[in-house]
Amino acid sequence: MTFSSDPLVKVENLTIFQSGIPILTDINFELEKGEFAFLVGRTGSGKSSLLKTLYADLPLKQGNVEVAGFNLKNLSSSKVPYLRRKLGIVFQDFQLFDDRTVAENLQFVMKATGWTESSKIKNRMTDVLMQVGLGSIPQKYPHQLSGGEQQRVAIARALINEPAMLVADEPTGNLDPEVSEGIFKLFQDINRSGTAILMATHDHNLVKKHPARILKCETGKVIDSSKEDIELNSSF
Ligand SMILES: Nc1ncnc2c1ncn2[C@@H]1O[C@H](COP(=O)(O)OP(=O)(O)OP(=O)(O)O)[C@@H](O)[C@H]1O
C-alpha cells in the first residue's frame, strides 16, 4: 500500500508582482510536511516577496498557491488570520513590542488568536519558552535581552499555535555567527519535531554547513535544488 498526503505548500505557475512589476515569474515548487528548505538569492531578488506571498501579505495575482490547506487564490481577508495560525513567521528584526514584557508579547498573540483561559495561556507560554531555551525571562523587556534571546522569544511567539510551518525571513541576519549557529540549531530542533521550515538567508556559511534543499531566486526565476544543481559558490 502506498501512503500519500497533500504537500504542505503547492506553488504552480506563480508570478509575483511588486508595484505592478513582475519580480519572479512562473514559479513552481512543492514543500512537504516537515520539510526544511533554504531560500537564497541576492538582495532584491524576491525572497521576501515570495515569503510574503505564502503568508498572504502580498496578494496572489497570477498562478495557484496552496498553503496548509488554504487556497490563496480565493482567500478572503477574513480567512487570513486562520492561515497565519498554521504558519509561524519569524523576521530578521524580531518585531517584538518593546514596551511589553516577554510574557505580554506572547499573551498578546495568544489573545489575538483565540486563547482565553489564563491557566492554559500560562502553561503554553511556559512550554514554548522552554522549547526555545528561555525558561526564566517572562518578566523581562526585549531591551533587557540579547539579540539571540530576542530572536528566541520571537520564535516562541511563532510556535504558540503549533504551526505546520515556520516561515523565517533572514532570522539570523542581525546576529553574530556563534549566536546565529545557536538559533539555527533551534530551527533544526523544531524541524525534527515535525514543523516544516522555509528560511530565507544570506548566510553562505550556514547553507554550506547544513546541506538541505535550496530554492534560489535568480534573474526573475526560482531554481529548485531538488530539480537542478545550484552553484553554492555564486553570491547570494
Ligand atoms: N513594497 C514594495 N513596493 C515596491 N517594490 C517592492 C516592495 N517590496 C519590494 N519591492 C521590490 O521587489 C524586489 C524584490 O524585493 P524583496 O524584498 O522581495 O527581495 P529580497 O530578495 O527579499 O531582498 P533582501 O535580501 O534585500 O531582503 C526589489 O526590486 C524591491 O525593490
Mean pLDDT of 122-147: 92
pLDDT at 59 over 50: yes
- Any idea what the CATH number is for the domain that residue 179 is in? 3.40.50.300
Residue 89 forms part of a structural domain: yes
Distance 17 CA to ligand 1 centre (A): 10
- Cross-strand bridge partners of residue 223: 216
pLDDT at 234 over 70: no
pLDDT for residue 5 = 74
- Tell the residue nearest (CA) to atom 7 of ligand 1: 18
Residue 233 forms part of a structural domain: no
Q: Is 45 in the pocket of ligand 1 (CB under 6 A)?
A: yes
pLDDT for residue 1 = 45
Distance 50 CA to ligand 1 centre (A): 10
3-state secondary structure (DSSP) of residue 232: coil
Residue 155 forms part of a structural domain: yes
Residue 81 forms part of a structural domain: yes
229/78 Cα distance (integer angstroms): 40
Q: To the nearest 10°, the Cα dihedral for 65, 67, 69, 71?
A: -30
Q: Is 41 in the pocket of ligand 1 (CB under 6 A)?
A: yes
Interval 67-76: pLDDT, tens: 999 999 989 9
Of 146, 168, 177, nearest in space to 212 by CA: 168
Q: Which domain holds residue 161?
A: 9-224
Measure Cα distances from 68 to 45, 158, 166, 180, 195 in Å.
25, 16, 12, 28, 12
Instruction: Label residue 172 by pLDDT band (50, 70, 90).
Output: very high
Residue 131 forms part of a structural domain: yes
Distance 47 CA to ligand 1 centre (A): 8
**Which atom from ligand 1 is nearest to the alpha carbon of 202?**
25
- Give me the number of domains the chain comprises: 1
pLDDT at 230 over 90: no
Residue 232 forms part of a structural domain: no
- Scanning the chain, the segments in alpha helix (DSSP H) are 47-54, 80-86, 102-112, 118-131, 147-159, 177-192, 204-209
Residue 236 forms part of a structural domain: no
pLDDT for residue 235 = 64
pLDDT for residue 74 = 83
- ipTM of predicted assembly, 2 dp: 0.97
Return the percentage of the chain with pLDDT > 90, whole number.
89
Read off the pTM: 0.94
**Which atom from ligand 1 is nearest to the alpha carbon of 45?**
21
62/31 Cα distance (integer angstroms): 19
